[in-house]
Structure 1
Amino acid sequence: MDEDYSFGREASVPDGADKREDYRLSARATARLNVESAEPIEFGDEPLEAFVRTCEVRDISASGMSLVTIEPLRAGSLLAAEINLSAQKKLLRLTVEVMWSKEEGSRYLNGVRVFDSDETDYLSWLEAVAEAFSGPE
């Protein structure tokens, strides 16, 4: 089994940005964020996803995650997200709120909080995080 998660805290988390009360795990995962609310644009027979951004997940906790992006996310924004944790077989559809964004070299580190919503995979998210914390059996 791949070791997708490790305990610890990234040294590069910006000062003052770490306000989570939960433990966190470093993770190899990706996220797709709908950064603007718009109808899909059709080009020929294929829809274009001009408003979807793919980014790296730096770490996860039950209440949120850190995302690495090429442009800052606006604090206070509510975004639809699809998270692909490598240990999961399916994408987890979540609603996240951007809590902060800090420049880190040529990229940005963004802290997001996961919302509990009936129309998302929130319970599956909690189960996936719990499973990651429990480690391989």
Structure 2
Amino acid sequence: MDKYYSFGREASLPDGADKREDYRLSARATARLRVESAEPIEFGDESLEASVRTCEVRDLSASGMSLVTMEPLHAGSLLAAEIHLSAQKKSFRLMVEVVWSKKEEGSRHLNGVRVFDSDETDYLNWLEAVAEAFSGSE
């Protein structure tokens, strides 16, 4: 029933309108985002890898999620992400696009990202896992 799907639909979105196409689930999940170049940078004898940020997943659907970070993500950025759902034993490698970002209390930021189908990701497994989570939430 629709009355159980009010969570994850906040009235205070960046532009004031909810443009989500799917229901969202509140989730116990974490995301690891690669926020810089995937190519290692060489500094003398040292090799520095891309910067990885771990953040909280506030809610999710098959097509996107909202992430809580300590710094804003830039709209339009394409990021490699690894999402770990607490109910699953494995993580899902996905590509996400940052759609919006807004400042919350303190130094926290809420960011909306869209998941998209990309080669060499776990996109199909992600869709199955989210469908299974929705069927278990009834």
1:119 offset after TM fit, Å? 1.1
Decide which moves more: 100-109 or 6-15.
Answer: 6-15
- Residue in structure 2 matched with residue 67 of structure 1 by the alignment: 67
Cα deviation code 1:9-53 (max 9, x no counterpart): 2475633263111000000100000000143469xxxx7656000
TM-score, normalised by the number of residues in structure 1: 0.83
TM-score, normalised by the number of residues in structure 2: 0.82
AA in 1 matched with 2:108: R
**CA distance 1:11–1:96, shift in 2 (3 Å):** closer
Cα deviation code 1:33-88 (max 9, x no counterpart): 0000143469xxxx765600000000001100000000000000000000000111
AA in 2 matched with 1:51: S
Matches within 5 A, 1:104-119: 104-105=104-105, 106-119=107-120
AA in 2 matched with 1:35: V
Q: Is the 8 A contact 1:31 1:84 kept in 2?
A: yes
Helix, strand or coil for the counterpart of 1:32?
A: strand
1:89 offset after TM fit, Å? 1.1
Which has the larger Rg?
Answer: 2
Q: Which runs of 5+ in 1 are unaligned?
A: 1-5
Q: Which runs of 5+ in 2 are unaligned?
A: none
Q: Is the 8 A contact 2:59 2:66 kept in 1?
A: yes
**1:14 and 2:12 are equivalent in the alignment:** yes
Aligned residues: 130
Helix, strand or coil for the counterpart of 2:101?
A: strand
Q: Is the 8 A contact 2:83 2:92 kept in 1?
A: yes
**CA distance 1:59–1:41, shift in 2 (3 Å):** same
Helix, strand or coil for the counterpart of 1:102?
A: strand
Instruction: Quote the RMSD (CA, aligned, Å).
Output: 2.6
Cα deviation code 1:75-133 (max 9, x no counterpart): 00000000000111111000000000010112000000001112100001101110010
Identity of aligned residues (%): 80
